[in-house]
């Protein structure tokens, strides 16, 4: 059967709410509005005011409240309508959630999930389009997850909710409506995807493409085009930003000898930058036949006009171009 | 003499009458009469004296460079911490900001583990990894370094109390400086909307670091700043005032009425932290006046002596015991070894399999366990 990413997220939350009474969801419009992007559709009707809580538009306040609730024994899911708004609350995510287990030397854990759409959408302009993977991925004490498919969304969200640590769960608005095949195994109530393990979405011998979230789709599309020219790309879906599954990437490079990373976010100090640094420092460096490169969003605030926006984020042709340059073909 | 006092002690209770509290959106306030038993009095005295001496010892150790970094001392404000705890149960919850050593004590920490945390040793309450501002015990959520951030956290704890239906509440403390933080008003709003069992307490010690309340707040009636939240302003130097107000506030919360706000008017003898001499923005005369007229420990002592609830010798004996306890703790805190280096990367994640953490260079892989 096919399931959209949105429905996969919805079902994952529904099942986890049912499984553990301590789980609850709070955020703007999550209850009576069914969620700004309808991800929490039906949950308030089923679980009521106690478990699905509409908050006022006060991110710093409600994120802090969510963290406090987690400290005192509950398991909150704190939704940011988009991660752009998480900047209002970022102190609570980093200083109150991420660092507390360490500062307390293990006395105080914080089992919380911060979730919401991240990165570029369509036509929402500069203040609503930033990718926060690199910002949150920088911080020890956080787990940072970035699902691509419906299966990813389901298995990773369940894992995140069951994880006893703060997890930043980066969704993507443009992926919400995308349907994916979902096997019966994936539909089972205890299907979990481990946090920290990447997945090879497509096997290939000539070059490794590493990506996360929506860009995985573009990598697969680019790979399909390149296959017609006899270039076989191995496409790795990171699934988790932090902890980074460097081993999966290294193993692939030792086979293909070439690396291109693809991300929607800005280049400087970003996901690709980190992957390249890891590869430089690790065993896979000696297997590279060409410098590893990054395909990223353009280093500008996101413009509004469609033609400008389209040219601000990686397109399939950019990936194909970078692959060919790296392979020197 | 002592035997006589012991016989009388069960019967003799001191009663004190206090000034009326200023009230905001409350029909009535805490009772004007309070009962103090001898046992209670002695216990409050001992605890306050322990706090006082502990903070003064910390001052000493800091000047000897045995304590480093931030150190925010609480001496002068003892009646707040002890009075609040006397008004709630250990099964209730409490969170405060960085001037937290006293609360760590009232919430179950020992002087030894507090001092060893200040000196950064493995016997510290947070194994040396937190320091002055990050001490935790059961139902005590620190010790928080970011001004105001603890207030939403406290309301979150209160939400958990209500959610889990255990009739517990959360005391959520902040200072006069923090009182202007936006996130506090966000918290007032949600706590009130959702009727969270939260006692917001503003410890107004007149100065946010070096800025007096008049220079920082358009309204210094902190007990009214909760607007739709009922509030009361209390003499924070009188432990019975604090206790009775806290009991009153706790009753309000437990009866499901939602949050309440208490302003405790208090004073810190030290500067904001050990790097602040505390006399550039206030006069030595002011500090001296508070010490001589409103010291919380002296006030309790005088009250007990004038009501014949204790003798001078008895209280002196407590002083001696306290001094010894502090000396022993300081001895421990200065001789206990620092944390082992292989603890460096532990406690990143809870309930997690062991993992590797990158050291300062690519060849250094450090081990991290939960």
* Pair of tokens at residue A224: 């399909």
CA distance B154 to chain A (A): 6
For residue A65, the chain B residues in CB contact (below 8 A) are: 152-153, 155-156, 159, 187, 190
What ipTM does this complex have?
0.95
Residue B297: count other Cβ atoms within 10 Å of its Cβ. 22
Could you tell me if A240 and A195 are in contact, meaning their C-beta atoms sit under 8 angstroms apart?
Answer: yes
Is B15 a member of any domain? no
Work out the angle at residue A18's Cα, subtended by the Cα atoms of residues A15 and A20, and round it to the nearest 5 degrees.
105
pLDDT the model gives residue A137: 98
Which residue of chain A is at minimal alpha-carbon distance from B122? A105
Nearest to A61 among B126, B183, B350 (CB): B183
Is B8 a member of any domain? no
Which residues partner with B235 through β-bridges?
B265
Q: How far apart are the C-alpha atoms of B93 and B163, rounded to whole Å? A: 14
CA distance B175 to chain A (A): 17
* Residue whose token pair is 């789980």: A23
Pair (B242, B358) in one structural domain? no
Pair (B149, B268) in one structural domain? yes
Question: Going from the N-terminus, what domains does chain A have, and what CATH number goes with each?
Answer: 2-187 (3.40.50.970), 199-327 (3.40.50.920)
pLDDT the model gives residue B13: 55
Could you tell me if A52 and A19 are in contact, meaning their C-beta atoms sit under 8 angstroms apart?
Answer: no
Reported as a single tens digit per residue, the pLDDT across A215-257 is: 999 999 999 999 999 999 999 999 999 999 999 999 999 999 9
- Which residues does A45 contact at the CB level (< 8 Å), separation at least 6? none
Cβ-defined contact of B186 to A60 (cutoff 8 Å)? yes
Is B5 a member of any domain? no
Cβ-defined contact of B159 to A68 (cutoff 8 Å)? yes
Of B106, B105, B125, B108, the C-alpha closest to B116 is B125
Longest Cα pair distance anywhere in chain B, in angstroms? 74
pLDDT the model gives residue B11: 37
Instruction: Tell whether A281 lies on the interface with B, counting CB pairs under 8 A.
Output: yes
Is B91 a member of any domain? yes
Pair (B66, B97) in one structural domain? yes
Cβ-defined contact of A92 to B160 (cutoff 8 Å)? no
Q: How far apart are the C-alpha atoms of B349 and B365, rounded to whole Å? A: 17
Pair (B322, B218) in one structural domain? yes
Q: How far apart are the C-alpha atoms of B197 and B161, rounded to whole Å? A: 7
CA B36 to chain CA centroid, Å, is 21
Pair (B335, B345) in one structural domain? no
Which residue of chain A is at minimal alpha-carbon distance from B183? A61
- pLDDT at residue B16 above 70? no
Could you tell me if B145 and A95 are in contact, meaning their C-beta atoms sit under 8 angstroms apart?
Answer: yes
For residue A102, the chain B residues in CB contact (below 8 A) are: 129, 347-348
Instruction: Tell whether A159 lies on the interface with B, counting CB pairs under 8 A.
Output: no
Encode B51-116 in three state secondary structure. HHHHHHHHHHHHHCCCCCCCCCCCCCCHHHHHHHHHHCCCCCEEECCCCCHHHHHHCCCCHHHHHH
Instruction: Tell whether A106 lies on the interface with B, counting CB pairs under 8 A.
Output: yes
B138: left (phi over 0), alpha (psi -120 to 50) or beta: beta
Q: How far apart are the C-alpha atoms of B362 and B343, rounded to whole Å? A: 20
* Residue whose token pair is 């590279």: A288
Strands A240-242 and A143-145: antiparallel
- pLDDT at residue B17 above 80? no
Q: Number of structural domains, chain B? A: 2
For residue B158, the chain A residues in CB contact (below 8 A) are: 68
Segments forming the whole domain that contains residue B60: 21-274+281-339
B20 pLDDT band (50/70/90 cuts)? confident
Which residue of chain B is at minimal alpha-carbon distance from A164? B350
- pLDDT at residue B15 above 80? no
Residue A21: count other Cβ atoms within 10 Å of its Cβ. 13
Pair (B268, B357) in one structural domain? no
Pair (B330, B355) in one structural domain? no
CA distance A166 to chain B (A): 9
* Residue whose token pair is 């709070």: A26
Reported as a single tens digit per residue, the pLDDT across B278-309 is: 999 999 999 999 999 999 999 999 999 999 99
Higher pLDDT, B10 or B67: B67
Average pLDDT value for residue range B33-45 = 96
- Could you give the C-alpha distances from B147 to A202, B105, B151, in angstroms and in order? 49, 21, 9
Could you tell me if A62 and A55 are in contact, meaning their C-beta atoms sit under 8 angstroms apart?
Answer: yes
Work out the angle at residue B273's Cα, subtended by the Cα atoms of residues B50 and B299, and round it to the nearest 5 degrees.
40
Reported as a single tens digit per residue, the pLDDT across B172-224 is: 999 999 999 999 999 999 999 999 999 999 999 999 999 999 999 999 999 99
CA A271 to chain CA centroid, Å, is 11
Of B186, B81, B69, B59, the C-alpha closest to B130 is B69
Instruction: Tell whether A95 lies on the interface with B, counting CB pairs under 8 A.
Output: yes
As a whole-number percent, the residues of chain A with pLDDT over 70 amount to 100
Could you tell me if B77 and B236 are in contact, meaning their C-beta atoms sit under 8 angstroms apart?
Answer: yes
Cβ-defined contact of A104 to B130 (cutoff 8 Å)? yes
Is B137 a member of any domain? yes
* Residue whose token pair is 């009425």: B257
pLDDT the model gives residue B3: 38
Pair (B286, B355) in one structural domain? no
* Pair of tokens at residue B128: 């040396």
* Pair of tokens at residue B272: 């904001």
Is B331 a member of any domain? yes
For residue B356, the chain A residues in CB contact (below 8 A) are: none
Could you tell me if A264 and A214 are in contact, meaning their C-beta atoms sit under 8 angstroms apart?
Answer: yes
Average pLDDT value for residue range B132-140 = 98
Nearest to B141 among A56, A58, A71 (CB): A71
The CATH number that applies at residue B69 is 3.40.50.970
Work out the angle at residue A55's Cα, subtended by the Cα atoms of residues A49 and A56, and round it to the nearest 5 degrees.
140
Pair (B200, B345) in one structural domain? no
pLDDT the model gives residue B10: 37
Cβ-defined contact of B189 to A56 (cutoff 8 Å)? yes
Could you tell me if B234 and B81 are in contact, meaning their C-beta atoms sit under 8 angstroms apart?
Answer: no
Pair (B197, B140) in one structural domain? yes
Pair (B351, B320) in one structural domain? no
């Amino acid at each position: 059967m096919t399931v959209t990413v949105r429905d996969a997220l919805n079902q994952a939350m529904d099942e986890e709410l049912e499984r553990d009474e301590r789980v609850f969801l709070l955020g703007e419009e999550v209850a009576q509005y069914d969620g700004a992007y309808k991800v929490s559709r039906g949950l308030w009707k089923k679980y009521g005011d106690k478990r699905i809580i509409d908050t006022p538009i006060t991110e710093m306040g409600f994120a802090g409240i969510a963290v406090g609730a987690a400290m005192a024994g509950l398991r909150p899911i704190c939704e940011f309508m988009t991660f752009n708004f998480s900047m209002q609350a970022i102190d609570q995510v980093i200083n109150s959630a991420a660092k507390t287990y360490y500062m307390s030397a293990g006395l105080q854990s914080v089992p919380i999930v911060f979730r919401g759409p991240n990165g570029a959408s369509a036509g929402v302009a500069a203040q609503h389009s930033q990718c926060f993977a690199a910002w949150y991925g920088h911080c020890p004490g956080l787990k940072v997850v970035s699902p691509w498919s419906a299966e990813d969304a389901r298995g990773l969200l369940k894992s995140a909710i069951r994880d006893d640590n703060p997890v930043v769960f980066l969704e993507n608005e443009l992926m919400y409506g995308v349907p994916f095949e979902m096997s019966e195994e994936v539909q089972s109530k205890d299907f979990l995807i481990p946090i920290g393990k990447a997945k090879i979405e497509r096997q290939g011998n000539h070059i490794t493409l590493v990506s996360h979230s929506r860009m995985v789709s573009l990598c697969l599309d680019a790979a399909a085009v390149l296959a017609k020219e006899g270039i076989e790309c191995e496409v790795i879906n990171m699934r988790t930003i932090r902890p980074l599954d460097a081993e999966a990437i290294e193993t692939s490079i030792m086979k293909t000898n070439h690396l291109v990373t693809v991300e929607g976010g800005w280049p400087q100090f970003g996901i690709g930058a980190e992957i390249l640094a890891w590869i430089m420092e690790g065993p896979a460096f000696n297997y590279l036949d060409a410098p590893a490169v990054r395909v990223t969003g353009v280093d500008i605030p996101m413009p509004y006009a469609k033609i400008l926006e389209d040219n601000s984020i990686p397109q399939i042709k950019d990936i194909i171009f970078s692959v060919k340059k790296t392979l020197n073909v | 003499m002592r035997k006589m006092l012991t016989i009388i002690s069960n019967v003799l209770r001191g009663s004190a009458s206090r000034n009326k509290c200023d009230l905001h959106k409350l029909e009535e306030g805490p009772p004007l009469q309070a009962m103090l038993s001898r046992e209670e009095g002695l216990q409050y005295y001992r605890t306050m004296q322990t706090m006082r001496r502990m903070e003064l010892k910390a001052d000493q150790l800091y000047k000897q460079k045995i304590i480093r970094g931030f150190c925010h001392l609480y001496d002068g404000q003892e009646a707040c911490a002890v009075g609040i705890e006397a008004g709630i149960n250990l099964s209730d919850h409490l969170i405060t900001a960085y001037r937290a050593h006293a609360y760590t004590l009232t919430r179950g920490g020992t002087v030894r583990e507090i001092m060893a945390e200040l000196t950064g040793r493995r016997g510290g309450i947070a194994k040396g990894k937190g320091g002055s501002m990050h001490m935790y015990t059961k139902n005590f959520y620190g010790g928080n370094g970011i001004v105001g951030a603890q207030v939403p956290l406290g309301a979150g704890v209160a939400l958990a109390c209500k959610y889990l239906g255990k009739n517990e509440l959360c005391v959520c403390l902040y200072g006069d400086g923090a009182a202007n933080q936006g996130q506090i008003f966000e918290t007032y709003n949600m706590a009130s909307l959702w009727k969270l069992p939260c006692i917001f307490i503003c410890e107004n010690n007149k100065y946010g670091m070096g800025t007096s309340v008049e220079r920082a707040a358009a309204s210094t009636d902190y007990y009214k700043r909760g607007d739709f939240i009922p509030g009361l302003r209390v003499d924070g130097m009188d432990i019975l005032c604090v206790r009775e107000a806290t009991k009153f506030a706790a009753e309000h919360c437990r009866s499901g009425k939602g949050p309440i706000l208490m302003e405790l008017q208090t004073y810190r003898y030290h500067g904001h932290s050990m790097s602040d001499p505390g006399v550039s923005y206030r006069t030595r005369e002011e500090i001296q006046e508070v010490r001589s007229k409103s010291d919380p420990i002296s006030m309790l002592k005088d009250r007990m002596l004038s009501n014949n609830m204790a003798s001078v010798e008895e209280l002196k004996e407590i002083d001696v015991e306290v001094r010894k306890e502090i000396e022993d703790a300081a001895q421990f805190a200065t001789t206990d070894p620092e944390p082992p280096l292989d603890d460096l990367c532990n406690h990143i994640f809870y309930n997690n399999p062991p993992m590797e953490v990158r050291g300062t260079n690519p060849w250094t892989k450090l081990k991290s366990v939960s």
